[in-house]
Chains A and B, each alone.
Chain A
Amino acid sequence: MASPTSETLKIWVFLILPLPVLVVLGYVVPTAGVLGWSFTLPEPGVQNYAAVLEAQRLQTVIWRTLRICLLTTVISVGLAYLIAYRWRFATPRGRQLIELVVLVSFWLSMLIRAFAWLVLLRGDGVINQTLLWLGLIEAPLPLVRNEFGAVLGMVHFMVPFAVLPMLNSFREVDDRVLNAARSLGATPGQVLRDIFFPLTLPGMAAASGIVFIFSLGSFVTPALLGGGRAVMLAEYIYLQMFQLSNWGMGATLAIVLMAMVVVTALIFGRLFGFKNIVGGLK
């Protein structure tokens, strides 16, 4: 191949240039602005960050966010593991069906899903009315407008995000390895625990990282299904900015949220390698 002439090089530079410019203008500059607000509003100083460390109500929100995200991650990844496992050993038709179900759920608007859950779960909703009719409960169960509802909605939203990266690592498990183990006398339980599970661990780690990080920024689902009782960081930031017009605190919490995302990404990257996590998305 001939070396690029200076003319073509110029064109390439010209074509690539918009990307860094876009990143700087669209991301770096606004983020720097937000960082600036967190130190200057309502007055210069670190009082906003001090409040994050001291104020009970802020810590409640931060801990609740972490707790809900952890719960969501564990449950979604667990469910996704079962789905991916079923998919791995399904017939081609079965696989297609599973993929279809996962993708349809993936493509549905999150607003529609949240409202659907609200209709199902509320006091006069289908689930409570059925249980009441069957005589299994005396009064409607509080299934929604609380943390339970928020986690449920988030799990539903996150399962596809967990399944998709897992499918790749499940596909790559070699049938011959499993057969070898069986022919050497391993029980089905041993095959699963000692062979299958370790081989699919990277996919699971990737899924956990992705789900946890996505969960941190959840806004619509916990806002609708939590009904004001499961306010997470993103909703609290919105509250600070638009209900209280307290930009300094909103900005500070946005920076805190971003730091949480970065730290989580670094931990997962260090433990499992970024390549595996990103590779899981292929």
Chain B
Amino acid sequence: MKEKQEFLEDALMVAAERMKRGRLSRRGFNAGLAALMGSAVMGAARRAHADTGRVVVVNWGGDAVPGFQKAYAGFGEASGLELLVDGSGPSEGAVKTQVNSGAVRWDVCDGEMYSAYRLGRDELLEALDYDVIDKSLIDFGDVHDHGVANYTYSYVIAFDTEAFGDRRPTSWKDFWDVETFPGKRTLYRWMSANLECALLADGVTPEELYPLDVDRALAKIEELLPHILTHWATGAESQQLLRDGEVAMGQVWNTRAALIKEDTGGRVDWTFDGGIISPSVWMVPKGNPAGAKAAMDFIAYALRPEVQVKLMEAYAMGPVSAAANDLLSPELALANPTSPENFSKQVLLNNKWHADHYGETLERYLALIGA
């Protein structure tokens, strides 16, 4: 790409120089310009269909970009392909836009599991090749035609230890209990696990959680609304709210919770108790630039247990494979959502339910919180 651009600039400069000296007519210059532009367009079109020699993996940005770069650094050597990590966020709408407009820039997306079900249904994703990807490696999370679990993270309770004396919240009931645990709260803006948390707070058992009783969950959210300072939309925002003491308790991702604890020297602590484990997904947009084969190779590489361990080391994203869990150091095992002692305290998010109901429910949720 860069090379091509330099070549174009160089050719233009040579032509302009010639024209100045009167050796090239104006018309000749224009014709040359048109030809050059044509070749640039054709170049772009060609790029879209051929092997690019690189795999573009997209995630949600921030520290997750260097996290992926570090964890998957060995992919180049293993495959001969260059790895590029893009942090612009593979939301459903963004993937849909790229595929429908025929301008796919991403090879592998680190997406939301329910998005993978929905996009797969709309035929916007490549089918995964389970001859290349070893599905027996997946012990936590979903495996389906268009998506395979890539790592796990949890929605956990993080809290300001200075706000509650010796008391520590250990459940969503505590999260909703503003008498015992006074102070502002924050929840995730795009809803994902919020209904589950609300229902658990309302006394529903984990076994009876699905199908979610949306009306009941929204009523429970409404109850807490006066105490919710704001709904955070990005991980960085959730960190800021707790770090600066704007809220006393927050529902945040475990990866961020660990960072906040570190940043505040332990003033903000967190717990896996009551956490909602959410598996994330590898999915491949239809017509990805590097070709389906390269994308499958990357996914197969990333799911190797020893590579999953590297991701946990780099960014505290939990393995989806018990074999990978066995390789973790005791310290990392403590921070891993799928370690047996942590897993038993938590509830696994049912992404199939969200695949069918996310859109309409999110609209109701947003209307409730003031959108």
B314 to chain A, nearest CB (A): 28
| Contact for A227 among B93, B118, B230, CB less than 8 A | B230
In the bound complex, CA of A65 to CA of B59 (Å):
33
Chain B residue at smallest Cβ distance from A61: B371
Q: Which of A124, A227, A235 contacts B244 (CB 8 A)?
A: A124
Does A236 sit at the interface, judged by CB under 8 A?
Answer: yes
Question: Within 8 Å CB of B230, what residues of A?
Answer: 145, 227-229
Tally chain A residues at the interface, Cβ within 8 Å: 23
Whether a CB of chain B sits under 8 angstroms from the CB of A190 is: no
Q: Roughly how many angstroms separate A123 CA and B233 CA in the complex, as a whole number?
A: 19
Interface residues on chain B, number (Cβ under 8 Å): 25
Which single residue of chain A is at the shortest CB-CB distance from B358?
A244
Residues of A within 8 A of B245 (CB): 124
A242 — nearest CB in chain B belongs to which residue?
B93
B173 at the interface (CB under 8 A from A): no
Q: Is the CB of B370 within 8 A of A242?
A: no
A131-157 interface (Cβ within 8 A of B): 145
**Is A60 close to B, CB under 8 A?**
yes
> Is A230's CB within 8 Å of the partner chain B?
yes
Residues of A close to B91: CB separation below 8 A: 242-243, 245
Given the complex of chains A and B, what is the CA–CA distance between A246 and B358 in angstroms? Answer: 12
**What 0/1 pattern do residues 51 to 71 of A give for CB contact below 8 A with B?**
000001100110000000000
Indicate whether B22 reaches chain A with its CB closer than 8 angstroms: no
Nearest CB in chain B to that of A147: its residue: B370
Complex Cα distance, B184 from A246, in Å, reads 33
| Residue from A145, A239, A241 in contact with B371 in the complex, judged by beta carbons closer than 8 Å | A239
Selected contact of A242 from candidates B92, B244, B364, B369, CB within 8 Å: B92
Q: Does A216 contact B (CB under 8 A)?
A: no
Kindly state the separation between the CA atoms of A123 and B240 in the bound complex, as whole angstroms.
13
* Cβ contact within 8 Å between B93 and A228: no
Establish whether residues A231 and B229, one from each chain, have CB atoms under 8 Å apart when the complex forms. no
- Most chain A CB neighbours (cut-off 10 Å) among B184, B190, B230: B230
Whether A227 and B246, one on each chain, are in contact in the complex, defined by CB atoms closer than 8 angstroms, is no
Contacting pair B362 A228 (CB below 8 A): no
Q: How far, in angstroms, from A57 to B93 measured CA to CA in the complex? A: 21
Of B94, B190, B362, B371, which one neighbours A231 at CB under 8 angstroms? B371
A242 B94 Cβ-Cβ under 8 A: yes
In the complex, B211 has a CB within 8 A of chain A:
no
Closest Cβ–Cβ distance, residue A141 to chain B (whole Å): 13
In the complex, the answer to whether A57 meets B362 with C-beta atoms within 8 Å is no
Q: Is the CB of A57 within 8 A of B363?
A: yes
Q: A145-B230, A227-B231 are in contact. Are A246 and B370 (CB under 8 A)?
A: no
Evaluate contact between A145 and B366: CB separation under 8 angstroms. Answer: no
Decide: A60 and B367 in contact? CB cutoff 8 A.
yes
- Contact indicator B93/A231 (Cβ below 8 Å): no
Question: How distant is the Cα of A122 from the Cα of B229 in the complex, in angstroms?
Answer: 10
A246 lies within 8 A of B359 (CB):
yes
Complex: A244 Cα to B364 Cα, angstroms: 12
Kindly state the separation between the CA atoms of A245 and B118 in the bound complex, as whole angstroms.
10
Whether A245 contacts B92 in the complex (CB less than 8 A), given A123-B229, A145-B229, A228-B233, comes out as yes
B256 at the interface (CB under 8 A from A): no
B52 to chain A, nearest CB (A): 26
**A245–B93 CB distance below 8 A:** yes
B96 within 8 A of A: yes
**Alpha-carbon gap, A235 to B366, bound state (A):** 12
Chain A positions 219 through 252: 1 when the CB is less than 8 Å from some CB of chain B, otherwise 0: 0000000011111000110010111111100000
The reply to whether A230 and B190 form a contact with Cβ atoms under 8 Å apart is no
How many Å lie between the Cα of A51 and that of B371 in the bound state?
Answer: 16
Contact A57–B367 (Cβ < 8 Å): yes
Q: Assess the A245–B96 pair: CB atoms within 8 A.
A: yes
* C-alpha spacing A229/B230, complex, angstroms: 8
Contact A228 B370, CB 8 Å, known A241-B93, A242-B91, A244-B363: yes
With CB as the reference atom, state the residue of chain B lying closest to A60. Answer: B367
Is B359's CB under 8 angstroms from A123's CB? no
Q: Which chain A residues border B190 with CB–CB below 8 Å? A: 243
Judge whether B135 is part of the interface by a CB distance below 8 angstroms.
Answer: no
Residue B220 lies at the interface, judged by CB distance under 8 Å to chain A: no
CB of B189 within 8 Å of the partner chain: yes
The residues of B that contact A123 with a CB separation of less than 8 Å are 184, 229, 246
Query: Closest residue to B370 on the A side, CB-wise?
Result: A229
Within 8 A of A (CB), among B73-120: 91-94, 96, 118
Give the residues from 339 to 371 in chain B that come closer than 8 angstroms, CB to CB, to chain A. Answer: 359, 362-364, 366-367, 369-371
B93, B233, B366 interface centre (most CB from chain A within 10 Å): B93
CA distance A244 to B367 in the complex (A): 14
**Chain A 99-119 interface mask (CB, 8 Å, partner B; 1/0):** 000000000000000000000
Collect the chain A residues with CB atoms within 8 Å of residue B233's CB. 228
Q: Which residues of B sit under 8 angstroms from A245, Cβ to Cβ?
A: 91-93, 96, 118, 359
> What chain B residues lie within 8 Å of A124 (beta carbons)?
244-246
- B370 and A231 within 8 A (CB): yes
| Alpha-carbon gap, A243 to B233, bound state (A) | 11
The docked-state distance in angstroms from the alpha carbon of A123 to that of B244 is: 10
Q: Kindly list chain A residues whose C-beta atoms are within 8 Å of the C-beta of B370.
A: 228-231
Nearest chain-A residue to B92 (Cβ)? A245
In whole angstroms, how far apart are the Cα atoms of A145 and B369 in the complex? 12
The contact sample of 15 A-B pairs, CB cut-off 8 A, is A56-B367, A57-B364, A57-B366, A60-B367, A122-B246, A123-B184, A227-B231, A230-B370, A231-B370, A236-B371, A239-B366, A241-B93, A242-B92, A244-B362, A245-B359
- Give B residues with C-beta under 8 Å from A: 91-94, 96, 118, 184, 189-190, 229-231, 233, 244-246, 359, 362-364, 366-367, 369-371
Add 9 more A-B contacts to A124-B246, A228-B370, A239-B371 (CB < 8 A): A56-B367, A229-B230, A229-B370, A231-B371, A236-B371, A241-B93, A242-B93, A245-B93, A247-B93
Q: Which 6 pairs, one residue from A and one from B, show the smallest C-beta to C-beta distance? A: A242-B93, A229-B370, A57-B367, A231-B371, A245-B92, A227-B230
